[in-house]
Amino acid sequence: MSDLQIFVRGGCVIWIITAAAISSAPAQQTIAPASSTQTTGPIPAILQSYTPVTRERLENPEGRNWLLFRRTYNGWGFSPLGEITPDNINRLQPVWSFATGQVEGHQAPPIVNNGVMFVATPGNQLLTIDAKTGGVLWRYKRPIPEDMTQLHPTNRGVGLYGDKVFLAAAEAVLVALDVKTGKEVWSAKVEDYKKGYYMTLAPLIVDGRVMVGVSGGELGVRASWRHLMPTRAKSYGARSWCQSRVSPAVKRGRRGISGKPAGARSG
C-alpha cells in the first residue's frame, strides 16, 4: 500500500488522496457528520497497535508521518515523500470525504501517526480517524462555557507525545486525552477565560514538555506562554513556568505601537 498523501480543503471537508489512486479510481466514500456520542465498543486494531510518539520521532519523523503542526521543528512544512509528482498529480482521485459538523473556519492540519489521523476543529472538538478508510475511531467534544466570549472560534491542531494527544480548549484549558480511548486523562487550567483569555493554538511538545500560549489582547489581557509537563509522574499538568511577552521598546520605557506605556500594554 502506498504512503498516504494528505491535503486539507477549506471549510469543513477533509480530503485524503492516496498514491494508489494514480493507477485506479476507486469510488468516493462520503462519511456522515460526526454523531453527538463517542464511539463505543472494543478498541480498534489500529489503535491497539498505536506507536507512541517520542522525542526522537518528533525530531526525526518518518516520511509517512506528520507529527507536528509544520511536521518538523524548523517549520518548513515539507514532506519528503516523492511518489506524487507534477507528472501524475492530475490523475489523483478523492478516496473519501468527511464533514466535521462545524461550520466555522478550519485551520488545523491533520496530524498523522502511522495511519491514525487527529483533526481538531472549532467547537472544542477532536476527531480521531482511520486515515485509510475515513472511519471515526473516537470523537471528543468539550462543552464551551456559555458565558465565554470567543472572538476567534477556531482551533489550530493538537500535540502528540507518548500515548497522549493534547488539545488546547477554547476556554484556556489544556486537555490530555488517551489516544486509544479518547478519554480525558487530565486537564489543566492555563488562564481564566472570564478575564478575556482564550486559546486557539496547537500545543507544542519540546523535550517531553508541552507548551501553550493564550490569546485575548483584543479584550485587554496580556498574552503569555505556559509550560506544562506531560509526564507519568504526579506532575500531570503541573505548570513549570510562565512568560509574558512585551516588546523590547516598551521594556525600555518607550511607548509601543499602540501608544501605551509599559504596564498598560496588553499584548
pLDDT of the residue at 23: 35
What is the rounded distance in angstroms from the CA atom of residue 68 to the CA atom of residue 59? 10
Cα 184 off chain centre by: 16
In tens, the pLDDT along 29-39 reads 444 444 444 55
pLDDT of the residue at 6: 42
- For residue 114, being part of any structural domain is answered with yes
Q: How many CB atoms lie within 10 A of CB 32?
A: 9
Of all residues in the chain, the percent with pLDDT exceeding 70 is 68
Q: List the one residue out of 250, 245, 251, 252 whose CA is nearest residue 260.
A: 250
Q: List the one residue out of 174, 240, 242 whose CA is nearest residue 207.
A: 240
What is the rounded distance in angstroms from the CA atom of residue 132 to the CA atom of residue 16? 8
- For residue 266, being part of any structural domain is answered with no
Q: H or E element: which one contains 241?
A: strand 238-244
By the 8 A CB rule, do 136 and 163 touch?
no
pTM: 0.76
pLDDT of the residue at 155: 94
- For residue 259, being part of any structural domain is answered with no
- For residue 35, being part of any structural domain is answered with yes
In tens, the pLDDT along 39-75 reads 567 999 999 999 999 999 999 999 999 999 999 999 9
In tens, the pLDDT along 199-244 reads 999 999 998 889 998 888 777 776 665 656 554 333 455 555 455 5
Q: List the one residue out of 118, 127, 120 whose CA is nearest residue 199.
A: 120
What is the rounded distance in angstroms from the CA atom of residue 148 to the CA atom of residue 171? 7
pLDDT at 246 over 50: no
- For residue 261, being part of any structural domain is answered with no
Q: What is the CATH number of the domain that holds 56?
A: 2.140.10.10
- For residue 257, being part of any structural domain is answered with no
Indicate the pLDDT class of residue 10, thresholds 50, 70 and 90.
very low
By the 8 A CB rule, do 102 and 125 touch?
yes
How far is residue 159 from each of residues 47, 76, 140, measured CA to CA in Å?
A: 17, 17, 15
Q: Are strands 224-229 and 238-244 parallel, antiparallel or unpaired?
A: antiparallel
What is the domain extent for residue 180? 4-251
- For residue 20, being part of any structural domain is answered with yes
Q: How many CB atoms lie within 10 A of CB 25?
A: 12
Q: How many CB atoms lie within 10 A of CB 194?
A: 12
- Cα separation of the two ends of the chain: 49
pLDDT of the residue at 25: 32
Q: What beta strand segments (E) does 122-171 contain?
A: 125-130, 136-141, 158-161, 164-169
| Grid coordinates belonging to 174 | 489544556
Q: What is the mean pLDDT of the chain?
A: 78
- For residue 151, being part of any structural domain is answered with yes
Provide CB contacts within 8 A for 73, sequence distance 6+: 58, 59, 206
| Grid coordinates belonging to 254 | 518607550
In tens, the pLDDT along 163-207 reads 999 999 999 999 999 999 999 999 999 999 999 899 999 999 998
The number of folded domains in the chain is: 1
